[in-house]
Amino acid sequence: MTPLRQRFIDELRRLNRAPRTIETYTRVLARIARHFNLSPDLLTAEQIRELILLLIDQGLSWSLFNQVSCALRFLFVNVCQRPDIVPHIPFAKKPRKLPVILSPDEVRRLLDAVPDPRWQTLCRTLYACGLRLSEGLHLRLADIDSPRGLLWVRHGKGGKDRAVPLCDRLLGYLREHWRRQRPSDYLFPNAHGLPCHPTVVQRLLQRARVLAGLTRPATAHTLRHCYATHLLEAGTDLHTLQRLLGHSNLSTTLRYVHLRSERLPSVQSPLELLDDASGTAGTATNAASGRHCA
């Protein structure tokens, strides 16, 4: 390991960045170093500009683009003390796309189609508690608080803990899972007793989507979106939903308001209002004409 990489990792750890963030930023800088065949701390503003244009030409998603930007900004500000480079490292604009929301029946079909009972239980847990996939994979036996009807989510996004309601039906599924698998620590471990890789679950969900006959995209995070939207449609208030999802900002939770469907069918199209107005006007004209003829 080069001295620069070690300083970079140490600084990330000092500022309490998550292990996944450290891994991602380090991988990004390694790729940049290979591309230029140069240590990243020696990059010039012109080379940064060249890199940004290359990423744009490659059509990189906004999230991956911003990973590169964040890694470079951290390097030049916190490690190299070269803040003059930062203005040359832009962020990508996040597209304002609404997520896909499945109906309750579609969610049931998707969950029933997951082929392995172990991962079916995990997917039911993701939907029942609104968990991120990484949160579900890191659940431990000790996180199940059955006497109080709670499931504890430890070290969620931003390193925050939270509790979510644990319904009786999910508790039954988890007990059946324990009787089958007998996990000793993590609820859904791999062969080595550690949290399974997320790719395994995502691939199984894609197979389940096909088996369930769903044409719209469906991922593990889709289950979290469905959880939030279905709770809003059932009458859950926004502040409660914010706490259940672990959002720091209410504005993040507010986007689910736009996904509720219970009021949309009752909204009358302006085109129908035009037709109604035209029909009323025609009726009035005919009535007046009739009076005139009479």
For tokens 């107005």, name the residue: 277
Q: Has residue 54 got a pLDDT over 60?
A: yes
pLDDT of amino acid 19: 87
d(CA 69, CA 60): 12
Instruction: Look at residue 188 in the predicted model and tell me its pLDDT.
Output: 94
pLDDT digits (tens, 9 = 90+) for 123-175: 999 999 999 999 999 999 999 999 999 999 998 887 788 999 999 999 999 99
Q: Which pLDDT band, with edges at 50, 70 and 90, does 221 fall under?
A: very high
User: For tokens 């490292």, what's the residue?
Assistant: 89
71-97 mean pLDDT: 87
Give 23's contacts (C-beta < 8 A, 6+ positions apart). Answer: none
Structural contact between residues 97 and 197, judged by C-beta atoms closer than 8 angstroms: no
pLDDT of residue 294: 46
**From 124, 138, 230, 247, active-site residue:** 247
State the pLDDT at residue 263.
57
Q: Do 72 and 105 form a contact (C-beta atoms < 8 A)?
A: no
From the candidates 109, 140, 221, 255, give the one annotated as an active-site residue.
221
Active site residue 157: yes
Query: d(Cα 85, Cα 81) in Å, to the nearest integer?
Result: 10
**Residue 293: predicted pLDDT:** 45
DSSP state of 265: G
For 175-190, write each residue's pLDDT tens digit: 999 999 999 999 999 9
Mean residue pLDDT of the chain comes to 87
From 124, 127, 132, 225, active-site residue: 132
pLDDT tens per residue, range 241-289: 999 998 888 878 887 776 676 555 556 668 776 766 666 555 555 555 5
Cα–Cα dist 76/11, whole Å: 12
Q: Is 97 assigned a catalytic role?
A: no
| Known catalytic membership, residue 31 | no
Q: Is position 256 annotated as part of the catalytic site? A: yes
State the catalytic residue, choosing from 17, 154, 157, 255: 157
Report how far residue 111's alpha carbon sits from residue 86's, in angstroms, rounded to the nearest whole number: 46
| Whether residue 222 has pLDDT greater than 90 | yes
Amino acid present at 186: Y
**For 1-13, what is the mean pLDDT?**
91
Distance CA 69, CA 176 (A): 45
Give the pLDDT score at 281.
Answer: 54
Q: Which of 138, 209, 224, 230 is catalytic?
A: 224
pLDDT value of position 98: 76
Q: Is residue 186 annotated as part of the catalytic site, yes or no?
A: no
- Domains in the chain with CATH codes: 3-88 (1.10.150), 105-259 (1.10.443.10)
**Tens digits of per-residue pLDDT, 89-121?**
988 887 777 788 999 999 999 999 998 999 999
* Beta carbons of 188 and 131 less than 8 angstroms apart: no
pTM across the whole model: 0.68
Answer for the pair 166, 146: CB distance below 8 angstroms, yes or no: yes
Active site residue 132: yes
Checking if the pLDDT of 30 tops 70, the result is yes
